[in-house]
Amino acid sequence: MAAKITVLTPMVSVANVQRSINFYELLGLKARNTLKNEAGQLIWAHLECESAELMLSWAGDSVNPSPPPPVRFYLYSPNLVALREQLLAGNIKVSSVTYPNYMPKGEAQVEDPDGYILYIGQSD
Q: What are the structural domains of the chain? A: 11-60+68-122 (3.10.180.10)
pLDDT value, residue 16: 94
pLDDT at 65: 55
Tens of pLDDT, residue by residue over 37-67, are 999 999 999 999 999 999 999 987 655 556 6
Residue 81, H or E segment: helix 80-89
Question: pTM (2 decimals)?
Answer: 0.84
Q: Note the pLDDT tens digit of each residue in 72-102.
A: 899 999 999 999 999 999 999 999 999 999 9
